[in-house]
Amino acid sequence: MKKIGVIGCGWLGSRITDSMSGRYEICATATSNGKAEEISSKGFKASVANFPDFQLEEKMAQWNEMKDMDILIITIPLSGKSCCASSLYNRIQHLLSFIGDFNGQMFVMSSTGVYPDVPGEYTEESLSWENVPGESMIRKRYPQVNILRLAGLMGDNRLLKNYNVSNLNAPVNHIHYEDICNVTEKMIEKNSEGKLYNIVAPQHPSKIQVINAQKNLPSTEKTVGEGKVIFSSKLVSELDFVFKYPDPCNFH
């Protein structure tokens, strides 16, 4: 049985571990003892690990589980969208010390938020990993890493209707967490390495259309306004991937 490590067992990480339960030996990190106990109660190996955005007096110790690890999935925020360059650098340096010289299959969950907040159509070719600081730092150390740029995480208790939303006619770029799990597992099966994919549902209704669907209201808006649209056609083409949830209006 292959051994998978999940660094960052939060909202997404916990769903990834649950989806792989029973087919892999799973080790995961959490940021608190309480969360680690919750992970352990599911039969997984759990460790407490934090990656601060300040320098440490000594290098962070390597994760004990790394010596037998086959696959590593990193879900902690590394895109650099919400922090300054020095904070991001420190956080990633701690992460690199924690991982060590890992040479197995590897995934980093990045974000489609790395693309400019400008209306238009975006593919992976619109922005190289070399121009995204967090992705670049990881890729240069681990050339085998697969970078998955995730759209807005939705599904389960995450629904657009629960948020304060502006620009209601703009298109959405969303992804259901089950499709993230399915993409990851398909790439594991194919032994994918060094890939960069946008993970986003192929349909882009407007925010108001999604909200009305989630509230079981008829949608009076038939057209979608101007906005940013991110394509996942490369993923579909190279992996022959079929989305379980192609339409964000049906995520609920």
Dump pLDDT digits (tens) for 202-219. Answer: 999 999 999 999 999 987
Domain map (residue ranges) of the chain: 3-158+175-201
Reply yes or no on whether the pLDDT at 79 is more than 80. no
Residues 6 or more apart from 87 whose CB is under 8 A from it? 53, 54
Q: Which tokens is 115 given?
A: 């693309």
Mean pLDDT of the chain: 93
CATH architecture under which domain 3-158+175-201 falls:
3-Layer(aba) Sandwich (3.40)
Lowest mean pLDDT across 81-90, 101-110, 111-120, 242-251: 81-90
What pLDDT score was predicted for residue 189? 95
**What average pLDDT does this structure show over 67-73?**
95
Q: Which tokens is 31 given?
A: 């940021």
**C-alpha angle 10/16/17, rounded to 5°?**
85
Reply yes or no on whether the pLDDT at 81 is more than 90. no
Reply yes or no on whether the pLDDT at 48 is more than 70. yes
Q: How far apart are CA 195 and CA 144, in angstroms?
A: 8
Residue 73 confidence class, pLDDT cut points 50, 70, 90 = very high
Q: Which residue has the higher pLDDT, 20 or 80?
A: 20
**What average pLDDT does this structure show over 220-235?**
91
Task: Convert the pLDDT of each residue in 169-211 to its tens digit.
Answer: 999 999 999 999 999 999 999 999 999 999 999 999 999 999 9
Task: Convert the pLDDT of each residue in 110-150 to its tens digit.
Answer: 999 999 999 999 999 999 999 999 999 999 999 999 999 99
- Contact by Cβ (8 Å): 201, 247: yes
**C-alpha angle 108/110/113, rounded to 5°?**
175
Q: How many CA atoms lie within 13 Å of 27's alpha carbon, on the beta-carbon side?
A: 18
Residue type at 246 in one-letter notation: P
Q: Which tokens is 26 given?
A: 């799973």
Residue 83 confidence class, pLDDT cut points 50, 70, 90 = low
